[in-house]
Amino acid sequence: MLSPEELSRYSRNILLNEVKRSGQERLKNSIVTIVGAGGLGSPALLYLAAAGVGKIRVIDSDTVDTTNLQRQIIYKHSDIGQPKAIAAAKNASSLNPYISVEGIQARISRENASDLLKGSDLVLEGSDNFETKFLINDICIQEKIPYITAGVLRFEGMVMGIRPGEDACFRCIYEESPAPEHVPSCADAGVIGSMAGMIGTIQATESIQFLLNTEDSRSGLFGKILQVDSKSMEFRTIPICKREDCEACSLLIAKKLTV
């Protein structure tokens, strides 16, 4: 149930026919896990917290550095040196005291990923390395957790939604990690801070629509890749298909057949 204070806080959401009071209560009862409290996770966390998603977990093993503040807008200058997950949770909680934000200072791995993601209605992946992206893909496919992955570099970004068993997964497109020398990082190549904000905000918007679970909100970017080039301000949506020999999807099919 929503308190009178929450009804006032979320009134602009509730006015929407796609949300109403029932949709806002659905958001309050949702659990979202954000992997990576960086340039993408920061705006996504702020907007999910502001929207009233009831429980948010933030997983990150890093600490706040001066160079982060150009794009990781969840942090303040006074947070430098603090664990990102803890600082991000604290700042999001100060934005909205009516929700629960848990900061988990940990590096996600094959040993702990299932436990850390368990119970999530949706996972947002915004890490800066392919190793983590493949790991989140595999665990979400295994645990049947829908997730939205995204990446950003220089002036470009991408967002992709995956519903296990329905949509092509990350491995359907990228079978294996590219060689490290072929994948420059933001530290090497740079990134426009507002570009990370744009992509992280798209992740948040897609998440909210997915959690509302209306007929129109179930498609969005699931089963598609959105590519954004901010230099030309071109947005391109590409439908993607499952790859028959995809290792991750094949395991899920095999699991279904044995149940």
Enzyme catalytic residues: 186
Give the integer Cα–Cα distance in Å for 31 and 135: 20
Q: How many residues are there in the chain?
A: 259
DSSP characters over 149-181: EEEEEBTEEEEEEE-TTTS--HHHH--SPPPGG
Q: No. of H helices and E strands in the chain?
A: 11, 8
Residues 36, 126: Cα–Cα separation, whole Å: 5
How far apart, in whole angstroms, are the C-alpha atoms of residue 133 and residue 36? 10
One-letter identity of residue 35: V
